Amino acid sequence: MQPIDELSVAEARGLDGLLFDLDDTFLDRGRLTEAAYSALFRLRESGLLTIAVTGRPAAWGAVIARQWPVVAALTENGSIAFWRADNAVEQADLGAARERDERREKLSRIVSELRRELPELEPSDDVDGRISDFTFDIGERQRVADATILRAIELSERLGARTRRSTVHLHVTLDGLDKASGVVRLLRRHSGVDPTAARFRYAFIGDSENDESCFAAFATTIAVSNLSGRPSVMPRFVTRNALSAGFSEAAAVLIERRGG
């Protein structure tokens, strides 16, 4: 990975927007900092559109789209999107709107089996705000042994579910979307952006394994210095600072390179 300072003027000026993860990228252990929030306004002033791309629940996305200086929020690792339309917030189920009730019932049965087999797993505290997945807390309020997490992943997949792991949660879902495929669908639906063009016109910044689809899909990719796990494709650039300070650092470079 190259230092973010090596991002060229031409590459920065060729961007239309910045896609950003929340936990341990934009947020500091779940907390919103003044510097990171202010950076969203400065990015907008520089001409960049910003979209939050997170594993957090749909309930978060509705608030983010309504109150933050972003054009949209994509939640639950690619399935549920929100954007402002005049004074209202529009919501779209990008995964399986027609099959959602059936999938939720099946997912509930899978989660019950997981909890019987692995009683040490605890649901995350935001699980009631979710539509397309179920999450276990593996690093937010408690630490779960890797062996337990790997066992949960194996069992989930054997029961027909997909899993995604972030620094704080283990997601269990029946949806096939990931952050990259979900955000490409969102960009096309919201802004009419061609999927191929989106790869080169939008940058992505993240920190963990559930960001790897975006690290692989987009041409301009950035990691904050606390990057964890082993993404199959590493980001091209990395910040000196960690967490929200790293996000603010990347934002400052983008703004400066764009002549802001």
Residues 34-39, mean pLDDT to the nearest whole number: 98
Written as one string, the DSSP assignment of 166-218 is -SSEEEEES----HHHHHHHHHHHHH---HHHHHHHEEEEE-SGGGHHHHHH-
pLDDT digits 0-9 by tens, 119-128:
999 999 999 9
Residues 36-48, mean pLDDT to the nearest whole number: 98
pTM: 0.95
Q: How many CB atoms lie within 10 A of CB 147?
A: 8
pLDDT digits 0-9 by tens, 148-178:
999 999 999 999 999 999 989 999 999 999 9
- CATH top class, domain 2-95+177-257: alpha beta
Q: What residues are paired with 2 via a beta bridge?
A: 237
CA distance 216 to 205: 12
Residue 230 has a pLDDT of 83
Domain ranges of the chain: 2-95+177-257, 97-173
pLDDT digits 0-9 by tens, 197-217:
999 999 999 998 889 999 999
pLDDT level of residue 90 (50, 70, 90 thresholds): very high
Q: Which numeric CATH code is attached to 97-173?
A: 3.90.1070.10
Name residue 175's amino acid.
D
What secondary structure letter does DSSP report for 27?
B
Same CATH fold, 97-173 and 2-95+177-257? no
